[in-house]
Amino acid sequence: MSNLLLLLILLPVAAGAICYFVRSSAVRTLTVVATAAILTLASLGLLGQGTFEPVTVGSFLGISSDLLLTVLDFALLGVIYYYGVKNKSLLIQGFTLAQAVLLAWFEIVVLDHGTVPALVGDQLSLIMVLIVSIIGSLICIFAIPYMKEHEDHLKLKKSRQPRFFLFMLLFLGAMNGLVLSNNLLWMFFFFEVTSLCSFQLIGHDGTAIAKHNAVRALWMNAVGGLAFVLGIIFVYSQMNTVDLSVVLANGPQGALMLTGLGFLCVAGFVKAAQVPFQSWLLGAMIAPTPVSALLHSSTMVKAGVYMVLRFAPGYVDTFLSTGIAICGAFTFVACAALCIGQSNGKKILAYSTVSNLGLIICCAGINTPLAITAAVMLIIFHAISKSLLFLCVGTIEQAIGSRDIEDMRGLYAKFPRTAMITLIGILTMLLPPFGVLMAKWMAIEAASSNIYVIIMLAMGSALTVVYWARWGGSLMASREADAPAEEQATLIRMPLVALCGGAVVLSVAAPWIYNSMLAPMFQAPPFTVSLGSLDAATGSFGVVPLFIVLGLGVVYAAKAASGFRKAKVMPPYAGGANVVGDNDGAYVGPMNGTVPFTASNMYLGELFAEGKLTPVFNALAGALIVLMLGGAL
Amino acid sequence: MDTLILVIIGLVAGPVIGGLVAGLDRRVTAWFQSRQGPPIMQAFYDVAKLLGKEKMVVNQWQVLCAWVYLIAAAVSVALFFAQGDLLLIFFVQAIGAVFLVMGAMAAKSPYSQVGAQRELMQILAYEPVLILVFVGFYLTTGSFSIEAVWQLDQPLLAKMPLLYLALGYALTIKLRKSPFDFSTSHHGHQELVKGVLTEYSGPYLALVEIAHWYETVLVLGLCALFWTTNVAWMAVLLIGTYMLEILVDNTMARMTWRWMLKRVWLLGMGMSVVNLIWLYAG
């Protein structure tokens, strides 16, 4: 058991080091692919062995692992402080110094250094390990050809890929460590490693704007780190332990512990880029696309929601819980509104990620078995679909040189394969019977007992439809009968097809995923599964029946559509003056000139302008967080 | 087994009732305008004629989208008759709505593009209202499934009058009636241009038309759920509501999407929220 755990955490670190020190592209490719394969197998192996009680990790070379970790912790804070000095950021320096001082005081004066089991594997951790190890690995594989092309484009003298893959792989190890931690101090260490990795990766290209955004990400996450340290101290002062399973075992225990959990959740909010902390994640869009995919699907932001969800048993049925639900719901609707005003594909994905994370946090706050099920389902399916969409945007960007959805109009004509995969990705985010929508359905049913939350979810849900539907529609276009087939590198196509297939197949398998992995989490599971349908007292979702009926329908429709050349293919209507022989919507304009077809989506600037709404939303969200913490005190 | 029979009834009766309603609609509208109007069966003749026309398309996506629209609409009606989960029915219905928009966007036609964007605004307006109406169902019956509504011993209308009015907004938008019919509105000079539907023609327009009948039945079915304790009163409620829709359609001018969005989000959602507060308090 322990070997498998160490493999999951340390192998990516070792592989990252190989990538960094052995500067050969063949070795790098081999290392990344092999690591991906081993991580995937190891995570499945861990799943096969099932959940396990907290385990202690022995000593390395005679030094106890707890002491080793403490040393590493301060070394890490030192490194972050160094980057604060190097980038002349007083914010980073200040927040890091505060963390270091508080942590030193805590470790030296307050903490009673007993043995605390370091790692634990419950259902939630195992699911997270699968997401990190499998989806993260696929993204790393995608990054191999992507980064080569990226660097060819930048015409670098010296490749920065060794450094890039070091942090990508290190990220995976740190995430596995974070989700398996049982000791809060261990969790804190891995939490800080992910902050450092994201800083390095966001600033990877080394441009002024990249550096600026990386620094912002680091100081914001340092705020999260500070909240984390405060959280540990508060929790310890009530519970006298940093053993997470002990802390959470008996539910809420007094104001100090709740305040501590409140601070830990704020740390999660920062990591999950909840309003008002969303700007670091938006800024992170400057990074190469595989980084965005990694941050948004299987690492970083998922660490944030994981923490909120992890602590949920500790604040169940408290005001803090309601506060978290309202904060999450607010982020859900606010970021969906901000998303409407965007035409930049990566920004749409970023806002929709934050919006969905808000929904996950909202579910954690509602804190009923049904809501927790919704949250975990959302984590799983959002990770798959969102990583897929980011990789699609990366592929499209390298093909057409733009990430604007207006420039993706009619993508199908030239890049049918990529366009189809992107379209399927969008549909899996938006429509039933796919997993994300199923989780959203659960979330709405779970939220119906709270009027504030349900109003925000209803509005957010409608806003979501607009930005996905118009993007999906933009991709469609006519394709010439003799147009050449699209070419894709194998290492690009493999992750895209795997994720696309995964999004669909796992959606069909949702009832079984629920039965085998989620239902054991609860004493009273919210659903019963019969004939592939999830049934609860409040309603039912026939996953498999819907897939069969709608699937057969779509197959029939696709077959009808594939025979469209038998029908008469006509130019679109242009007010009676099409250009003769042109099927592209061009019409005869003034002076008998040809006016080409142009169109643009409505972005509702007067209602949903980013610049206008962001300060308002930030202020409101800040107030809500104060309300949430104040209630815990 | 009973469920299966109900599903089949729904699938068959859906377009028949929807078509008849469309025919009656035209008769009553004509009567309002002192015209005689077409026969009640006219809607069926129209669709039959469309089905017989030559297949002409701008591209394959329209074929796909028209079919998916029809299939989703039919499945949502089938789920409704199977006494399914209201939220799920609504989400399945949304598949059709989204595909209709995407099909319109696939064509390089300014009219269908504008229509598609406007249709999205319509979806944006009615979706939250519908979800809140379903929350009202949940608060009254303790479940989102339609089965639970039939077990009530007093009509839902008594507890959810404002939600019914809000549903009226959604109904007007969903049926694409004035003042909310701008996504399929006729272009100033050409009677044949019809917004989101511009590029659907012949048999594919027929599919869209049949899908719309299914949707009509679905929204009328939702209205019917407000008076499940007595069939006669249910009929009165439905006829009254639809008559009011026709009256509104004929007396109101078409409005812009901005007007709609503000009106529906403020008034429609406002009424829903007030009614929900009663239910939460009760």
ipTM: 0.94
Of A437, A541, A572, nearest to B58 by CB-CB distance is A572
B40 CB within 8 Å of a chain A CB = no
At a CB cut-off of 8 Å and minimum separation 6, what does A259 contact? A234, A629, A632, A633
- Number of H helices and E strands in chain B, helices first, is 12, 3
Distances (CA, A) of A364 to A189, A256, A313, A515, A516: 24, 20, 9, 20, 21
Among A115-124, B117-126, B186-195, the minimum mean pLDDT is found in: B186-195
Q: Tell me the shortest Cα–Cα distance from A596 to chain B, in angstroms.
A: 10
Distances (CA, A) of A628 to A165, A487, A554, A611, B149: 39, 52, 46, 26, 37
The pLDDT score that the predictor gives to residue B188 is 44
Distances (CA, A) of B39 to A294, B19, B28, B30, B47: 62, 12, 11, 11, 14
**For chains A and B, what is the number of CB pairs under 8 angstroms?**
213
* Residues A234-270: tens digit of each pLDDT: 999 999 999 999 999 988 988 899 999 999 999 999 9
**What is the token pair recorded at A386?**
């969102």
The pLDDT score that the predictor gives to residue A564 is 81
CB contact under 8 A, B67 and A477: no
B190 CB within 8 Å of a chain A CB = yes
* Arithmetic mean of pLDDT, B172-181: 85
B211 CB within 8 Å of a chain A CB = no
- Chain A, 440 to 459: residues with Cβ < 8 Å from chain B are 441, 444-445, 448, 451, 454-455, 457-459
The pLDDT score that the predictor gives to residue B186 is 62
pLDDT above 60 for B190: no
A431 CB within 8 Å of a chain B CB = yes
Q: Tell me the shortest Cα–Cα distance from A443 to chain B, in angstroms.
A: 11
CB contact under 8 A, A567 and B56: yes
A462 CB within 8 Å of a chain B CB = yes
The pLDDT score that the predictor gives to residue B228 is 92
Q: Which residue of A has its CA nearest to B146?
A: A539
* Residues B14-66: tens digit of each pLDDT: 999 999 999 999 999 999 889 998 999 999 999 999 999 999 888 889 999 99
Q: Is B176 left (phi over 0), alpha (psi -120 to 50) or beta?
A: left
Chain A CB contacts of B261 under 8 Å are 607
At a CB cut-off of 8 Å and minimum separation 6, what does A61 contact? none
A416 CB within 8 Å of a chain B CB = no
* Arithmetic mean of pLDDT, A214-232: 95
* Arithmetic mean of pLDDT, B211-226: 94
CB contact under 8 A, A540 and B85: yes
CB B71 within 8 A of CB A550: yes
**What is the token pair recorded at B99?**
């595909």
Reported as a pLDDT band with limits 50, 70 and 90, residue A579 is: confident
The pLDDT score that the predictor gives to residue A508 is 95
Chain B CB contacts of A477 under 8 Å are 59, 61, 106, 108
Output A153-161 pairs: Cβ under 8 A, ≥24 positions apart: A153/A398, A154/A205, A159/A23, A159/A25, A160/A204, A160/A206, A161/A19, A161/A25, A161/A28
Among A306-310, A475-479, A625-629, B113-117, the minimum mean pLDDT is found in: A475-479
Q: Which residue of A has its CA nearest to B265?
A: A459
Beta-bridge partners for B56: A568
CB contact under 8 A, A473 and B84: no
Chain A CB contacts of B67 under 8 Å are 553, 556-557, 560-561
Reported as a pLDDT band with limits 50, 70 and 90, residue A605 is: confident
Chain B CB contacts of A576 under 8 Å are 190
pLDDT above 60 for B189: no
**What is the token pair recorded at B173?**
């938008």
Reported as a pLDDT band with limits 50, 70 and 90, residue B187 is: low
Of A541, A572, A597, nearest to B199 by CB-CB distance is A572
pLDDT above 80 for A157: yes
Question: In this structure, is the dihedral angle defined by the CA atoms of residues A308, A199, A180 and A256, taken in order, positive or negative?
Answer: negative
Interface residue of B7, B58, B189 to substitute, partner A, most A CBs within 10 Å: B58
Q: What is the DSSP string of A547-613?
A: HHHHHHHHHHHHHHHHTGGGSEE-PPP-TT-BPTT--SS-EE-GGG-EE---------HHHH-HHHH
Produce one character per residue of B25-57: b if its CB has 16 or more CB atoms within 10 Å, e if not.
bbbbeeeeeeeebeebeebbebbeebeeeebeb
State which H helix or E strand residue A242 sits in: none
Q: Tell me the shortest Cα–Cα distance from A152 to chain B, in angstroms.
A: 34
CB contact under 8 A, A478 and B88: no
Q: Tell me the shortest Cα–Cα distance from A394 to chain B, in angstroms.
A: 23
Q: Tell me the shortest Cα–Cα distance from A554 to chain B, in angstroms.
A: 6
* Residues A463-479: tens digit of each pLDDT: 999 999 999 999 998 88
Chain A CB contacts of B139 under 8 Å are 448
Q: Average model confidence (pLDDT) for chain B?
A: 91
Chain A CB contacts of B280 under 8 Å are 451
**What is the token pair recorded at B180?**
């909310």
What does pTM read for this prediction? 0.95
- Chain A, 475 to 534: residues with Cβ < 8 Å from chain B are 476-479
**What is the token pair recorded at A209?**
């704007």
Chain A CB contacts of B113 under 8 Å are 599
The pLDDT score that the predictor gives to residue A147 is 93
pLDDT above 50 for A402: yes
Chain A CB contacts of B193 under 8 Å are 573
Place of tokens 């969905």: A356
CB contact under 8 A, A550 and B58: no
B210 CB within 8 Å of a chain A CB = no
Chain B CB contacts of A465 under 8 Å are 94, 97-98, 120, 123-124, 127
CB contact under 8 A, B105 and A476: yes
CB contact under 8 A, B132 and A455: yes
Q: Tell me the shortest Cα–Cα distance from B209 to chain A, in angstroms.
A: 16
pLDDT above 90 for A601: no
Chain B CB contacts of A468 under 8 Å are 98
Among A307-311, A423-427, A594-598, the minimum mean pLDDT is found in: A594-598
* Arithmetic mean of pLDDT, A455-461: 95
The pLDDT score that the predictor gives to residue B214 is 96
In this structure, which amino acid lies at residue A400?
A: I
- Chain A, 578 to 607: residues with Cβ < 8 Å from chain B are 583-585, 597, 599, 601-602, 607
Among A64-68, A232-236, A416-420, A443-447, the minimum mean pLDDT is found in: A64-68
B278 CB within 8 Å of a chain A CB = no
pLDDT above 90 for A485: no
B199 CB within 8 Å of a chain A CB = yes
